Structure 1
Amino acid sequence: MPEYNELIVNGRSTGDLPFFCGVEENSAPTRAEKKNKYHDLDMVNSVAVQTIEAWSSVSKTYQFYIHDATKADVRKLKAFIGYSGWFTPFDDPEIRYVFVNAVFSSEPLDEFNGYTVTVTFTCEPFEYEAEKVSTLGSSITNHTTAPMYPKVVITGNVATSTFLQIGSQRMTFPSGMDTKVTIECKHGLQNVFDKSGNAINSKVRGPFFEIEPGTNVVTKGTGITSIQITERWGWL
């Protein structure tokens, strides 16, 4: 857990750097927006909304105060943060922000005392809780304000058609399944794999799972003996 004025980046704290590095300006709260399209039509009051089930990235900006440091130390900070990964701020220690880019700028305090370094992170839309793996029962409750895109591992053995349904979404295996199937539902990584790790998307039917806020009933077909789920709860 980060101490006051520290940032945990990819599991390491800025407080462990070999020079003082404090968070001087914290990022304000943000909220992701859907990638909806708005059409200003002549015969429609206001605008017509085309709903798109995807969210834009968010920017999180932090300013660091680096005391009694050199240009070499600034380079160490840049290498420490990198270009992608996750971070946890000191004022929200239960949340992780997943970032896909980090842009740096810096200014000297004076000739001797150090630098202020501004880092702007381009983050995924949601504020994530720590991932956890559990066994899926007869229902799953999404306690957050955002949909959740899990990884689901199904075990069982059946030669005839079977299925898994979570909420209103059903994925069917028309030819059955052999031992284990892994379903990765995260956007950009969506795939279904067999027990050997081979992609078998063409052998399944139906949508990838999106766990909506609220209670989602789980129903499994013949031959499925257990369901393991990686929970990735996030907040808008």
Structure 2
Amino acid sequence: MRILLIEDDRLIGDGIKAGLIKMGFSVDWFLSGNDGLLALDAAPYDAVVLDLSLPQMDGLDILRQWRKNGQDVPVLILTARDALEQRVAGLQQGADDYLCKPFALSEVAARLQALIRRRHGQLQPTLQHGGVALEPGSRTVTLHGEPLVLKSRELAILELLLMNPGRVLTRAQLEEKLYSWDEDVSSNAVEVHIHHLRKKLGSEFIRTVHGVGYTLGAAV
């Protein structure tokens, strides 16, 4: 899942980005309010981590503008403003969740996963298709109850397909979710990951819709 991070504190921002990447997220990080405001129109983000005290443009003003423009991406406010009225103001402007600094990175990740699940209408924390079950929180996959080892990108593709049952995802859509702007992507990267997943889950588990993309196939 691809996350937009807007945080002007370099130490905090670097820690959040590095930590979320280790947990399987793709992260684009911006330090200024103006850049962060415009970034949401440039990529298909699954959620936003938004600081409030930003240079150029306050976080609440950014959030207000997004909601005015119809942007419905889930937003997690992360800030040192811990007064009740500030938390209420953030929620009233359209924030979906709120965390005060200092924070535990594991809680940030858990809250992001919950927001993304709700956006996709997933009520259960476990994503499942037949005998394949994925636990986003622990980044573990089982096949008929037995642990299955997947590489990070393979797991990310599997999560995207399980979050979008019945939907065909193009290669471009998968690339946009898997890779941030500062990463190089080889022309056949997605195809290679799909090939490896099929070897581990069965050749029919991921179906190719020729000329369009990929979708979940037969349950194993």
TM-score interval (norm. to shorter): under 0.3
Larger Rg: 1
Superposition TM-score, scaled by structure 2 size: 0.21
Superposition TM-score, scaled by structure 1 size: 0.20
Higher RCO, 1 or 2 (CA under 8 Å, sep at least 6)? 1
